[in-house]
């Protein structure tokens, strides 16, 4: 006979087992529906009925470095920068047991550190090397106001940016806000893919995400409220030796050699308000074993532009605030395999190190300052502002499709004639002779610059789809392609270069890296098609 207590316990177990499937269905259902379900943009504004006057510019920044005193710390017994407790983490599959212990500061019985994103998923932060930032710039002229935010972050999904847009003070009458992450592999997880040895939604740091969203809102509002008359100077800079800066780790070898730069000064003076730079390179100079939060080479680049780079062969800084907007990093654009020279002409750095990060950032700062002070700089005498934006639906395949269906990433499943899709967005903005096209992930440079190939061994027996190259269709004297903008849907791989099945392209004995971190072979055509239409739409409406 069962006792009354055992009967009650058994009843509770049965009830719990019955409730768990219901909760799982509700969770998956909510994630499949996703937040802001009805949100979409499809607009154009160029203020064609108003003559442009003096351009107005505003900037602001917010520190988004988490306070590590509020998180759990751990004792890393073997100093491998991974958390391995005595009981192990599924040691029979992947993670081995160790002797690490942690201090449970919030007394919830589990390890809650700041998880660093990028590379492996078991990388708890041990400290802060330098601050992380949300930096905003606002433009206003001819009745159009737009703002742009660049984040020291690995990336964020579309729904998080939508929330920020909705929170901005409507009295400021901002027509559009564009966001971009630097895809920094030495910053906290803002996507949920790296939160713990076995990432789970419950381990994701929602409070930190809310702090970042609040910081973006505040930075945009301050930038708009601080608008002031400005003069505008732009220049495209060609890297003469790109192999000193970046490596393309996948065939075909296509590297974007153009560093796009803009400088805004107080009207009628040489006092810098802001500089904008855009170029593509993964911020991962410290590699996957680094346990310190850092803005990587991006911070050294910005500091060098603002404050200068010391001798030998340094430059005087431009002052103001420098904002770096990530470019095209698909391919994979990285400095991991690059030997970066020191500006002294003697030292060189190939292995992951702080010296390498600083050398790369300093070299980029020197190139930027010299370019903006050089004879090729262009002053924009007609700084009209315009912007166009469009929501689109990217067809998903492979792991991304199932991860979205299971509610693990990118909440919101949308069914179209092309199948299961993720909702995303592209933008096209113009300020004077500066044009800025945004893509919601890591674009392969050949899609913008040309040389999309159809190699023997490709999975799809087709010619190049993403043609013409995006930059050929842009009219600006400086043409920025801003990556990881308003979303992160992974690598945007040319369909004719998609290659996961043997025989492999380029005579390879194995598949090249890339497709496993892509939403699928039909993402690139959708991004290219939608963005190309948006570029033409704004150009057609642009006053002649």
Task: Write out pLDDT tens, residues 48-89.
Answer: 999 999 999 999 999 999 999 999 999 999 999 999 998 765
Please tell me the predicted confidence (pLDDT) of residue 404: 84
Across 25-34, 234-243, 255-264, 303-312, least confident range:
25-34
Percent of the chain with pLDDT over 70: 93
* Residue 344 reports pLDDT greater than 60: yes
Q: What is the pLDDT of residues 480-524, one digit of tens each?
A: 999 999 999 999 999 999 999 999 999 999 999 999 999 999 999
Q: Angle at the Cα of 396 (from 391 to 397), degrees rounded to 5?
A: 170
Mean pLDDT to the nearest integer, 245-269:
97
281 in the Ramachandran plot: left (φ > 0), alpha (ψ -120 to 50) or beta?
beta
Q: Are 535 and 428 in contact (CB under 8 A)?
A: yes
261-291 pLDDT per residue, tens:
999 999 999 999 999 999 999 999 999 999 9
Among the listed ranges 140-149, 192-201, 205-214, which one has the minimum average pLDDT value? Answer: 192-201
**Whether residue 28 has pLDDT greater than 60:** no
| Confidence label for 12 from pLDDT (cuts 50, 70 and 90) | very low
Supply the Cα-derived Rg of the chain in whole angstroms.
24
pLDDT level of residue 197 (50, 70, 90 thresholds): confident
Assign 96 a pLDDT band (cuts: 50, 70, 90).
Answer: low
Distance between CA atoms of residues 497 and 254, nearest Å: 13
Higher per-residue confidence, 231 vs 120? 231
pLDDT of 15 strictly over 90: no
Token digits of residue 118: 């990028």
Give the chain's length: 544
Q: What pLDDT does 27 receive?
A: 57
Condensed to tens digits (0 to 9), the pLDDT of residues 521-539 reads 999 999 999 999 999 999 9
pLDDT in tens, 125-139: 999 999 999 999 999
- Mean pLDDT, the chain, whole residue set: 93
Q: Which of 105-109, 246-250, 322-326, 440-444 has the lowest mean pLDDT?
A: 105-109
Please, which residues have CB within 8 angstroms of residue 79's CB and are 6 or more apart in sequence? Answer: none
Q: What is the pTM of this model?
A: 0.94
Report the distance separating Cα 90 and Cα 97, nearest Å: 9
pLDDT score recorded for residue 75: 95
Whole-number pLDDT of residue 408: 81
Considering only 160-164, 346-350, 402-406, which range has the smallest mean pLDDT? 402-406
Tokens representing 472 are: 């050929």
Q: What is the 3-state secondary structure (H, E, C) of 200-221?
A: CHHHCCHHHHHHHHHHHHHHHH
**Which residues, other chains included, contact 117 with Cβ-Cβ below 8 Å and sequence gap of 6+?**
153, 154, 184, 185, 187, 188, 189, 190, 191, 193, 194
Is residue 440 predicted with pLDDT exceeding 80?
yes
Give residue limits of the domains in the chain: 42-55+384-541
The pLDDT, as a whole number, for residue 88 is 63
pLDDT higher than threshold 90 for residue 321: yes
Of the candidates 15, 34, 40, 82, the residue with the CA atom closest to the CA atom of residue 407: 34
Give the residue from 390, 397, 401, 392 showing the smallest Cα distance to 32.
401
């Amino acid at each position: 006979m069962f006792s009354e207590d055992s009967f009650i316990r058994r009843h509770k177990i049965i009830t719990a087992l019955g409730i768990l499937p219901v909760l799982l269905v509700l969770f998956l259902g909510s994630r499949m529906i996703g937040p802001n379900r009805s949100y979409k943009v499809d607009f154009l504004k160029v203020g064609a009925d108003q003559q442009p006057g003096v351009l107005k510019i505003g900037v602001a920044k917010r520190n988004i470095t988490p306070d590590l005193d509020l998180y759990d710390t751990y004792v890393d017994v073997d100093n491998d920068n991974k958390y391995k407790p005595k009981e192990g983490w599924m040691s029979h599959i992947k993670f081995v047991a160790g002797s690490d212990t942690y201090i449970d500061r919030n007394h919830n019985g589990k390890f809650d550190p700041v998880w660093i994103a990028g590379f492996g998923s078991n990388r708890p932060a041990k400290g802060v090397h330098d601050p992380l930032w949300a930096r905003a710039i606002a433009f206003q002229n001819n009745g159009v106001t737009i703002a742009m935010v660049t984040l020291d972050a690995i990336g964020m999904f579309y729904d998080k940016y939508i929330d920020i847009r909705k929170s901005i003070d409507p009295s400021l009458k901002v027509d559009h806000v564009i966001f971009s992450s630097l895809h920094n592999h030495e910053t906290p997880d803002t996507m949920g893919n790296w939160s713990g040895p076995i990432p789970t939604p419950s381990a994701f740091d929602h409070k930190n995400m809310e702090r970042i969203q609040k910081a973006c809102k505040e930075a945009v509002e301050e930038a708009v409220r601080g608008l002031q008359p400005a003069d505008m100077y732009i220049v495209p800079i060609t890297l003469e030796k790109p192999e000193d800066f970046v490596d393309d780790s996948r065939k075909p070898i296509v590297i974007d050699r153009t560093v796009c730069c803009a400088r805004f000064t107080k009207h009628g003076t040489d006092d810098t308000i802001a500089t904008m730079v855009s170029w593509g390179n993964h911020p991962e100079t410290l590699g996957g074993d680094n346990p310190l939060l850092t803005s990587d080479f991006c911070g050294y680049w910005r500091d060098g532009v603002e404050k200068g780079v010391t001798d030998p062969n340094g430059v005087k800084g431009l002052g103001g605030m420098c904002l770096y907007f990530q470019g095209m990093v698909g391919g994979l654009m990285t400095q991991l395999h690059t030997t970066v020279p020191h500006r002294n002409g003697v030292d060189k750095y190939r292995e992951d190190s702080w010296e390498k990060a600083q050398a790369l950032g300093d070299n980029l700062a020197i190139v930027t300052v010299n370019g903006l002070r050089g004879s090729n700089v262009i002053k924009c005498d007609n700084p009209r502002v315009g912007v166009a934006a469009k929501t689109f639906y990217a067809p998903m395949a492979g792991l991304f499709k199932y991860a979205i269906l299971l509610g693990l990433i990118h909440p919101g499943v949308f069914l179209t004639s092309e199948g299961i899709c993720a909702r995303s967005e592209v933008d096209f903005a113009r300020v004077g002779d500066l044009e800025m096209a945004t893509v919601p992930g890591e674009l392969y440079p050949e899609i913008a610059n040309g040389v999309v190939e159809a190699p023997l061994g490709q999975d799809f027996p087709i010619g190049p789809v993403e043609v013409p190259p995006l930059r050929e269709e842009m009219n600006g004297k400086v043409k920025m392609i801003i990556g990881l903008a308003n979303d992160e849907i992974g690598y945007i791989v040319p369909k004719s270069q998609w290659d996961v099945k043997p025989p492999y392209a380029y005579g390879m004995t194995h598949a090249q890296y890339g497709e496993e971190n892509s939403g699928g072979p039909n993402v690139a055509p959708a991004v290219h098609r939608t963005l190309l239409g948006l570029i033409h739409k704004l150009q057609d409406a642009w006053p002649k």
